[in-house]
Chains A and B, each alone.
Chain A
Amino acid sequence: MSYQHDNYDNRNRRGGGGGGGHQSFASVAGGRQRYNNQGGGGGGNYDNNEGYGGGGGYQGGGGGQRRNQQRDNYQQQHWDREPLGANEDSEIPNEVRDFLTDLKNAIEDRDTAKLQVLYEAEFRGLSEIFYQTRAWPHPEVVEHIIGDLPEHIFTLLYKELYYRHIYESAREGLTIDQRFQSYGNYWSIFDTILNRDEPLDVGLPNEWVWDIIDEFMYQFTQFSTFRAKADKLQNFELNQLRAEGSHMVWNVNIVTNIWLKLVQKSEIQEQLAVYNAGGDPNARVKTGDFPDHPMYKMLGYYSLISLMRLHCLLGDYHSALKVLENVELGKKHLLQAAGLQACLVTTYYHVGVCYMMMRRYQDAIRIFCDLLLHQQRATTPTTNRGSSGVFAPSTGGRTYQVDALHKTIDKMYNCLAVCLILHPMHIDESISSSLRDKLGERVNKIQKTGDEEEFEKLLNQGLPKFVTPATNYDDIQPNSLKDFQNYQLGILKKEFAAQNMVFTIQSYLKLYTSMPIQKLARFLDMKDDVLLQHLYTYKHKMTNVVHTHGSPLNGVLQCKPELDFYIDKDMIYIADTKVAPRYGDFFVRNIQKFEELTETLKHIKVGGPAKE
């Protein structure tokens, strides 16, 4: 396998122990083949221990050596092109050395509080000081100086940070080797977590656990984009993508299986089901130590979220929501969720997108509004004194993540606008006014002129980047990714086109309580039966499945538009909805502001020159 080249890893493989990544690839590939041959058995089969530990294989072979040699030269050339520049400097500044030692000790001591500080603050801080334009010290160098823990756990986690930092800083300049190696490392981490009899206990803080799962998903989508850019790839990259076994790297089946295994291991679905039924998840009969372990619980939960995301990005909206069947989303969920903002925002955004794409606009609007309102409230100064907003307290200096969250929030506003165009209804006043500030002009233009292009732009800026599941490089059609994105976009564009005339019709209906069909047809300059067709379309399009309770998939068909009508013989009778002015929110906000003001005033010391 051509990507088994990293000398460091070769040297590290002291026979036995399911350590570093590359050998594990082989076992996945092997498992996969078995799977195909038998047409049965478990998916990626990576819980099968065959192929681990035996070592040998490619290591001793002369061919392997030669390949490594070539690879080294080739990597050398490669580094020159990297904007980030690989760090071959074995001189590690003292601060970094201290950090690494602390990190290793904290992992060994399972000191979650200490890990939190190291992970959230120090790693970022040191990255900014020393590693803005280059990578952190190579994991091999670090291992040489600092040492490692049993099962390579320190090196695995350090590598996670190392590659994440490269992804974050190098962006477009990532090399294909780095993509492969980072995958290998994630694979080893999950392998270490899953293939054991007792839970792995390292005391990782939830933030890090979420970031591992989230980053794994992110890098997977990145690879999908990378692979789809066939025309921009260099020859050596194409060769590597075509090489034997390469289709297993960032393979959608394996990625899915890893998450499914984590879900299974943690029994999170069962635990959530018991919790929703009002029971105590801790009191249920369990099949092992894993479901009780806090890290496995969180891994399971975050894997559910990622599975939902992946289904969504593949256009499988039904399965996406089904994954969350034991999670009841909404205001109550948000209030109770002590979870991370990043996780909540991601969850609500993707669930909302699923609803929107399934033409469940009311549910999409509800989900978006719940999250946006929650986020707005959390940003008010009274509840979060001294912080600059909802993301500040837990995310520390991780600016790129804060940026990503703000981007997602913006996308959410775009989707909300799209839903409200396709299904007009009243929403919370404060969300409505932020929406007007952000997108009011564009939305008005779309509603007034029926501008399809503008609608498409609005939608495109709201949708996530979809992925295509192709695993074999040569299966990938040129433009397939772009085509798939447009295909998904087209689904809602078609909805828009079908309803386009409705905006105009609505504006007339609003002015009357009853009017003859003929009269309206004359106003609109269309034939009676064409008008009828539009009226029926309106009724049909306003019919949505609306969530009732429980699983996000549950719901009943409902047609209760705010502007409603019926036809009796030749007459249209119209019923509009009036919204009484709302004062509550206004008062709540201003009371809060007032509180804040008096609080601030108290602390102001009116000085002036000191009295004599």
Chain B
Amino acid sequence: MSAREREEIASIFDSDIDRYNPGNMGILEQHVETQARENYYDLEANLLLLKLYQLNPGGSFTATRASSVTKILLKALMQLPKNDFQICKALTDPELGRVLRIQDVLRLETSLETCQFDFFWDDLENCRDSVSGVEGFDTAIRNYICSVIGMTNQTINERQLNSFLGKLPQEKLRRLVEEKGWKFLGNGIVYIKDQAASVKSRKITEAIEFADVATILTAVARR
């Protein structure tokens, strides 16, 4: 990102009142492109652009708008397991759901949210065009899938793991497993981490706070 762009974005956020100036849309749209190209993320700027679209409906949406919204949603999807997609979606014009590329993104989101990972990778191959121009998309999604596995599995079947990750070549898979600190145990089993230590039965016991008995104390004090 150029220094000038960074400055311009910063100056938009300088004033609470000026930031809603519709004149800011151009810079913010450009900023979305930069984020997609340079694999960088700025939620606040993206939300502001969505908000400006909302406040300035101006009849039907243009190709630029559709393209910016698609990219914003894809960038938000890359933040999974965080809730960014939901935040951005709520602020998106429902009408935009008619744009084919956005429909693709919404479908991809559904399969990721419901952990249909095999289906996701097949589907992604069918709509590659819709995610084109967004740097690091596959890697970010793989990280999300790894995080879900990391929470759930103590060990996992290697073949299953690889199918969740979009059938990587052997070498790539090996590197990913290493990167995540997982281990090949042989017999086609991958060791993830010791879950038994963190997933334990718990017992919630009662904690009485001062505030809970404050009312009694005042009553007693009155006597």
Contacts and interface: CB of A to CB of B under 8 A. Distances in A.
A545 B43 CA distance: 16
The 9 closest A-B pairs by CB, nearest first: A566-B195, A39-B23, A536-B115, A568-B154, A487-B94, A584-B208, A315-B90, A595-B219, A575-B201
Given A540-B113, A592-B216, A579 B204 contact: yes
Contact of A585 (B58, B90, B114, B212): B212
A317 B90 contact: yes
A319 interface: yes
Nearest to B191: A568
Given A39-B21, A318-B43, A475-B59, 14 more contacts: A316-B90, A360-B83, A383-B215, A426-B204, A470-B57, A494-B110, A539-B148, A539-B152, A540-B148, A565-B199, A567-B155, A579-B203, A583-B206, A588-B213
Interface string A245-273: 00000001100110011011000000000
Interface in B18-61: 18, 20-23, 43, 47, 51, 54-55, 57-59
B162 interface: no
A35 interface: yes
**Interface size classification for chain B:** 35 or more
A208 interface: no
Contacts of A358: 83, 86-87
Interface in B109-161: 110, 113-116, 118, 148-149, 151-157
A357 B153 contact: no
29 contacts: A40-B21, A43-B20, A257-B17, A264-B16, A314-B54, A317-B90, A318-B43, A319-B47, A331-B211, A359-B83, A383-B218, A470-B57, A477-B95, A491-B86, A529-B118, A533-B116, A537-B113, A537-B115, A539-B148, A540-B148, A567-B152, A568-B155, A573-B195, A578-B203, A580-B203, A583-B206, A588-B213, A591-B216, A592-B219
A43 B153 contact: no
Contacts, number: 170
A577 B51 contact: no
A101 interface: no
B91 interface: yes
B166 to A, nearest CB: 15
A473 interface: no
Nearest to B59: A475
A559 interface: yes
A577 B94 contact: no
B86 A359 contact: yes
A501 to B, nearest CB: 10
Interface of A: 35-36, 39-43, 252-253, 256-257, 260-261, 263-264, 314-319, 331, 335, 357-360, 377, 380, 382-383, 426, 469-470, 475, 477, 483-484, 487-488, 491, 494, 498, 529, 533-537, 539-540, 543-545, 557, 559, 562, 564-569, 573, 575-580, 582-585, 588, 591-592, 595
Contact of A584 (B94, B156, B212, B215): B212
Contacts of A579: 203-204
A180 B156 CA distance: 66
A573 B199 contact: yes
B200 interface: yes
Contact of A535 (B95, B113, B152): B152
